[in-house]
Amino acid sequence: MTARRKSLLAILLGPGAFWITLFFLIPLVLVVVYSFLERRSGGGVLWSFSLDAYVKLFSPTGDTLINDFMMILLRSLWWAALTSFVCLIIGYPLAFFIALQPPSHRTAYLFFVLIPFWTNFLVRTYAWKFILNNNGLLNNLLQALGMKRIALINTPTAVLIGLVYGSLPFMVLPLYASIEKLDFDLVEAAQDLGANYVRVFSRVILPLTMPGIVAGIVLVFIPVSGQYIVPTILGGGKVAMLGNLLAQQFGPALNWPFGSAIAVVFMALLMVGVIFYLRGDAREEEVGL
Amino acid sequence: MTGQRGGIPGSKLLRWGKRLLWANMFFSFFFLYAPIVILVAFSFNDSRLGARWAGFTLKWYGQMLESEAIRIAVRNSLFVAFVSTAISTVLGTMTAIAMERFRFPFRRTYDGILYLPVIIPDIVMAISLLAFFSLSLGWMNNLFGLQGTSSLRPGLTTVIIAHVAFNISFVAIVVRTSLRELDPDFEEAAQDLGADEWTTFRRIILPLIMPGILGGALLAFTLSLDDFVITFFTTGPGGTTLPIEVFGRIRRSISPEINAISTVMLLASMLLVVVSQFVQRRGSTGV
């Protein structure tokens, strides 16, 4: 590389790299550092080494091995998995349907999947609160039909509905991208060779669209596991997820080292999960080919 | 290829499969749009209690327009969105060019780092920025001896910094896609004809990737306008954006006024989608 090109590269790369380092990477490192420090009662930290935060997170309470904090962390991951699964069950056939339409219609369908993706998440979650509230639309409707009202708001069901609702477009778009690339000649070839529909799907269609499934699950799982808006609005503080826990520790509870430790453990679990998951997928693809 | 799709031999199972696909499609779009339609419809409802229809009114929109808090929040939101979009579009585009047209050490590592702000849960980024700003603003206040009202506090500036921090990555990803799709022959031809690097960039590359840059800018603008979580943890007194204001109202109560604000926000987002689709389509026919 010539000196001129080198300085050009520095000019192009420098400002962005500076911004991302100072305002993204350093803050993340700071959270790791904070997790090993002592709590200061008015918020913030005291600069002396301490493992209190991790001890608090991993120590059992009473006769249960896992304390409430760890429980919320694990529950968030479990709900993220559940949300991914439901989105896949609804999203896969939807993406498949769109891919089967004539090209001119596909654009229109995709456009309608995309609109919620671009609209304000807070507002869309509020729409569900409006529907599910105790004297909300659904309950008014049930009452008008002479049925009993049901308590839905501030329950796990309400939170899960909100999570699926917010995540569905993130699942459909990558699924569509991989189903659209699917070569239907292979489907026909499998059928000519005597494979039934179940076999064609499990042995040909599913493996070939696996990259879309993997991408869709990653795109749903990660944001959902850290959701704050949905459990706050539809869970009303009674159904807490990890996002609420972090907000509480950095907010009213004023225990920054503990909040940091939760974030570090959460990120570590996510990272390990994603690495294993993607590696498993890579192996599957090798076998598939 | 499309002919063969219709040509998959029919059977009872396949017919049922197709019916299920249609049913699932109707269910999905009902699920996606019913809440939005209900929200909009009830913004015209003449009842304070919300979920029971009591006739048509525009008074909630009137109340919204008269609200000083909403006016300030909208102004703050637009200010943050415009400034952060401008900065992140420039920095993101420069980053994209560096990544696509240069080889350098640790390029793969930086490639990975660039994707981090996109995939990291926003709550983690939010608390890390809260910790960072609280520490760094404290240091600066000590360093310059600032106290009381003159001290540096979180506000719109910290929000803008935070929004740029995640938007650089989004812009870079979108622009990199259009750089990758660009035929290298154009650049080579320009250089064969004696154009230097700068001229090639300005006259050839920039116009051709302009739809990508505009697409990235629109995405950044939308993300900034819609962001709640990161803004919530990085803002301070006087730095209330529209999502923050709306969130406060949602937590306090349910009122048709929130439906009216929400409807306007939905319309604004939809307008942005239409504009972005238009930009992208023009881009694809232009090349």
What residues does each domain of chain B span?
Answer: 7-44, 60-286
Q: How far is A249 from chain B (nearest CA, A)?
A: 10
- The average pLDDT across A190-207 equals 82
Among B1-10, B32-41, B50-59, the least confident range: B1-10
Q: Which residues of B touch A228 (CB under 8 A)?
A: 122-123, 229
Q: What is the pLDDT of residue A134?
A: 82
Q: For domain B60-286, which architecture applies?
A: Orthogonal Bundle (1.10)
Residue B284: which pLDDT band, with cuts at 50, 70 and 90? low
pTM for this one? 0.89
CB–CB of A119 and B165 under 8 A?
no
Query: Rounded mean pLDDT of A160-166?
Result: 95
CA distance A53 to chain B (A): 16
Any alpha helices (H) in A226-255, and if so which ranges? Answer: 229-233, 242-250
**Helix (H) / strand (E) containing A112:** helix A103-118
Residue labelled with tokens 């525009």: B58
Chain B residue nearest residue A165, CA to CA? B32
Q: Which chain A residue is nearest to residue B158, measuring alpha carbons?
A: A23
pLDDT at B7: 44
Output the pLDDT for position B93.
Answer: 95
Residue-level pLDDT at A283? 53
Query: A30-43 burial by CB neighbour count: b if 16+ within 10 A, else e?
Result: bbebbbbbbbeeee
Which residues from chain B sit within 8 angstroms of residue A205, using beta carbons? none
Quick: pLDDT tens for B59-87: 888 888 888 889 999 999 999 999 999 99
Cβ neighbours of A263 in B, within 8 Å:
124, 127-128
3-state secondary structure string, chain B? CHHHHHCCCCCHHHHHHHHHHHHHHHHHHHHHHHHHHHHHHHHHECCCCCCCCCCECCHHHHHHHHCHHHHHHHHHHHHHHHHHHHHHHHHHHHHHHHHHHCCCCCHHHHHHHHHHHHHCCHHHHHHHHHHHHHHHHHHHHHHHCCCHHHCCCCCHHHHHHHHHHHHHHHHHHHHHHHHHHCCHHHHHHHHHCCCCHHHHHHHHHHHHHHHHHHHHHHHHHHHHHHCCHHHHHHCCCCCCCHHHHHHHHHHHCCCHHHHHHHHHHHHHHHHHHHHHHHHHHHHHHHC
Q: Tell me whether residues B164 and A19 touch, CB distance under 8 A.
A: yes
* DSSP code for A147: P
Nearest Cβ partner of B121 from A126, A127, A223? A223
Report pLDDT for A282: 57
What three-state secondary structure class fits A1?
A: coil
Which two structure tokens, joined as six digits, stand for B142? 């000590």
Whether residues B102 and A242 touch (CB distance < 8 A) is answered with no
Per-residue confidence band for B147, with pLDDT thresholds at 50, 70 and 90: confident
B-chain residue closest to A257, CA distance: B131
In the prediction, which pLDDT does A222 show?
A: 92
Residues of chain B with Cβ-Cβ distance to A95 below 8 Å are none
**Which one is predicted more confidently, B13 or B20?**
B20
pLDDT of the residue at B282 = 64
B165's CB contacts (< 8 A; 6+ apart) are A19, A20, A23, A24, B117, B125, B129
Contact B243, B231 (CB under 8 A): yes
Choose which CATH entry (2.30.40.10, 3.30.1370.30, 3.90.180.10, 1.10.3720.10) describes domain A66-288.
1.10.3720.10
Cα separation values, B179 from B171, B172, B212, Å = 12, 10, 8
Chain A partners within 8 Å of B13 (Cβ): 197
ipTM of the complex: 0.89
Instruction: Categorize the per-residue pLDDT at B283 as very low, low, confident or very high, splitting at 50, 70 and 90.
Output: low
> Residue A259 in contact with residue A243, Cβ under 8 Å?
no
Nearest-Cα distance to chain A for B143, in Å, is 18
pLDDT number for residue A109: 92
pLDDT in tens, B175-230: 999 898 888 888 888 888 888 878 888 888 888 899 899 989 999 999 999 999 99
Partners of residue B22 in chain A, C-beta under 8 Å: 97
Nearest to A166 by CA among A88, A92, A234, A230: A230
Residue A226 and residue B95: Cβ atoms within 8 Å? no
- Smallest Cβ–Cβ distance between B123 and the set A27, A137, A226 belongs to A226
